[in-house]
Amino acid sequence: MLLHKYTLGFSPCPNDTFIFDAIINNKIDTEGISFVPVIADVEALNHKAFNKELDITKLSFFAFAIVANDYQLLDSGSALGKNCGPILISKKNFKLSEVDKLTIAIPGKHTTANCLLSIVFPNVKLKKEMLFSEIEEAIINEQVDAGVIIHENRFTYQAKGLKKIIDLGEYWEAETQMPIPLGGIAIKKNIPIEDKQKINRLLRKSIDFAMQNPSSSTEFIKKLAQEMDEEVINKHIQLYVNNYTQDLGVDGKQVIKRFFERLYQLGITVKIGDNLFLNNL
């Protein structure tokens, strides 16, 4: 069988390595599709998508607004849910009224985390971009006053003596009554439709395999995880991998559309057309 080869970008975070393990490590039949993994921090993946470097990639939903003319969202693989959003933390006790004057570390300009920070605190001017895994130490070492943490850091910051200023995800959920769309899997529009649908199906099979065989991906996850503590890894997967990860469905797709409509209303992004998804509503 002639192999069709495609680059596949995802982060080293446990929720990504959990769902992509089977498709990358040949634990399922990939039906003539060969995947070349590109593993990088989510903001690096965002920039690769801006440059059209990757055929398929995980990216922030906020970043997707920039590449919507060239990419579509797949049905599976998204990080979308409740009580899983980014958190603004600090070493010292700061009031919400003081946040505008703080120097704040962010995990990337185009991350959904920074998008939410901008929504909640539109007057914050002093932001410092850095790898998400470096933010806690930057706060501890007082390189910045505060930072927006994502991924497994939400499980580790308190043990390091850091304090929550506000949970940005909870704010979004209270304001909109919607789950928070964090990141999704995008595929280039110019890939043949037969391959796009096959890749969409294979990703769902990879996720189903992972959920049915949860210990199968342990070695792959630990090889790449920033936080090696097994309890933290398991909490991470349980929080970010859910029914929306298996399939966005009508509800998940409507949430994402409403997210982009809200960003457009706030003047944060341009208006996005209706052709967001490989399989539209």
Catalytically active residues, by annotation: 151
Count the residues in the chain: 281
DSSP state, residue 100: G
As beta bridge partners, residue 80 has 181
| 83 alpha carbon, distance to own chain's centre | 14
Angstrom distance (rounded) from CA 26 to CA 33? 11
Q: Do 73 and 186 contact (CB within 8 A), yes or no?
A: yes
Query: And the tokens for 258?
Result: 């409403």
| 31 phi-psi bin (left φ>0, alpha ψ -120 to 50, beta other) | left
